[in-house]
Structure 1
């Protein structure tokens, strides 16, 4: 019995996205919703927190994909609360009290594995996990154009516009679902808001440059992951930079986006070494990405700032 199939014993299910849901959370929730609806389950998609969705690309995504997501202050009556792209008890997920809780997530686990929790951080997007779970149940995602667009855009935004895409499962989903979707192209071209532009400009203005090692370090806190790759692409064009590292905070730690202009320091190797023992990283020789786990650095670098951790590791990487 697959993970999704075991949920069918519940007749009323509420799928909860993390606060201020991004494209990946919405897509993954929509994938599970689609499966449960096929089996006559009374299911809804919700999110909570301080703010309702306002980003134009997400509102357009919700519209064209027909994702029935609702902002709520109270949990509707349900037999099961299913968290998607988040984990119960995390700071970015509004805590609703529920008798039965399940989770599907691709971030570092904050709890022990249970039969009701499918958490695997070897995936770059939660959309990919749900895509695989649907395939396990025999569901043809390719035949569902709206869901395919949602999954692709979820992956696109969680991998810095595919630039930092390197995990085999995620690549497989992109390759299988890729098609000429005008709606997806419009989504890609509207993924950056004016606020994102200001954040990128501010981050680049305050970039740190190590003159000896010749690398740029850019802090872009509270930045959309899709924008992180744009920042990295701009930074590596600086004539004196051999490597650029842009990072932003996420719930489980820090997302990093790495670019290389020097064959002595390949981006994928820099990512692997930078994240070694404190997360995971990889990619291509000129563009790569990774995640640094907050829990891991709390153990190994108690009291350290993330910028100082990266600088300390870069001293060893760029000898």
Structure 2
């Protein structure tokens, strides 16, 4: 039995909700959009929903050009009987707001968390993009995606694997080739040519002004109220410096500190580092090469500065310990 058929078996209602992580990116929305199309082929209606906002320019373009219709959860009234499928996220993560409704299923490519409560889950951390998993559902069930869905999924894979160069698996490459044949390449080109707004450049300027390098770790605070997308983009940008192989970038937003961490050092697991660094402060996690975290409820400048300083110290301390342990092992 295919994964899609297993999922269909646990759905009992004629309408379900597909929930992404907060502040959804292209891969999350593409995954939700593809799943919505698949469910419609099985006569199940669905609504894509999210918390926070869609705050990256090319993500907004993607929603408009590909006719995706996500709803902010503030626009939705949930009941206890509603059924929810989580995509590109997992229950209990700090970047997934919990609402009424039964979380019956989860489709994700992040490290597996607690799966209790799901009636179905397909969580594969070895996959580079969640869009790849949905692409496989189309292929294994011999269902052809629409041009818009194929374009969205292809774009999700491109973005989450950095054009098939990071965290990429054989499955990602296979699905990229499969979706490429059905995608609208003109729309794809439009999406790739519009990723920044003029206002975003201020954050890059702050990053260059505030960048500090400790060993091979680059750390920068990039001002306040930066979007999650820009925080991540700047973290990637700073990683291109020859002097660093780990970056920590953060901004104060929505009542707390949002962190993005990137690692090109094979021994440094970004997800584990940020999770440990935020112990008793907030929560974080992600992949070995890219992860994020958040500390909520910081209301004064003193609280913000103290928390930022503590996280910086912890990250550097953890990284130094990992490198020292590896060095000692090599000496044995």
Do they superpose with TM above 0.5? yes
1:44 to 2:35 alignment:
no
Tell me the residue number matched to 1:229. Answer: 236
Q: Aligned pair in 2 of structure 1 residues 255, 160: CA closer, same or farther (>3 Å)?
A: farther
Tell me the alpha carbon deviations over residues 226-269 of structure 1, each in whole angstroms, 9 at most, x when there is no partner: 55433323x23xxxx3x5333457xxx964243xxxxxxxxxxx
Q: Deviations over 1:156-180 (max 9, x none)?
A: 3323454425332223322333367
Deviations 1:144-197 (A, max 9, x none): 321122112222332345442533222332233336712112211212344543
SS at match of 1:155: helix
Asked whether 1:310 is paired with 2:319, we answer yes
TM alignment of 1:236-247, pairs within 5 A: 236=242, 241=243, 243-247=244-248
1:201 aligns with 2:205: yes
Aligned partner of residue 305 in structure 1, secondary structure? helix
> Cα deviation per residue 1:196-218 (whole Å; 9 max; x = unaligned)?
433333333333335xx6x3524
* CA–CA separation in structure 2 for the residues paired with 1:20 and 1:186: 22
For the residue of structure 1 that corresponds to 2:318, the secondary structure is helix
Counterparts of residues 71-82 of structure 1 (less than 5 Å): 71-73=72-74, 74-76=76-78, 79-82=82-85
The 8 Å contact of residues 271 and 291 in structure 2, kept in 1 or not, is answered as: no
Supply the RMSD in Å over aligned alpha carbons. Answer: 3.5
Where does the alignment leave 5 or more consecutive residues of structure 1 unmatched?
A: 259-269, 280-288, 295-301
Asked whether the equivalents of residues 135 and 179 of structure 2 are also in contact (C-alpha less than 8 Å), the reply is: no
Tell me, yes or no, if structure 1 residue 189 matches structure 2 residue 193.
yes
Provide TM-score, normalisation by structure 1: 0.72
Describe the shift of the 1:56–1:291 C-alpha distance in structure 2 as closer, same or farther (beyond 3 A): closer
How many residues end up aligned between the 2 structures? Answer: 277
Output the CA distance in 2 between the equivalents of 1:128 and 1:314: 33
**Aligned match of 1:145 in 140, 144, 147?**
147
Aligned residue for 1:290? 289
Gaps of 5+ in 2: 223-227, 251-258, 274-287, 294-310
Contact 1:27–1:127 (8 Å) recurs in 2: yes
Matched, 1:275 2:284: no
User: How far did 1:13 drift?
Assistant: 1.1
CA offset digits 1:65-109 (Å, max 9, x no partner): 111211232345664211111112322222112145211111122
For 2:89 and 2:314, the matched residues in 1 are separated by 25
- Superposition TM-score, scaled by structure 2 size: 0.70
Aligned twin of 2:105? 102
Alignment of 1:206-217 (within 5 A): 206-210=210-214, 215=216, 217=218
Rounded Cα–Cα distance in structure 1 between residues aligned with 2:129 and 2:221: 20
1:2 aligns with 2:11: no
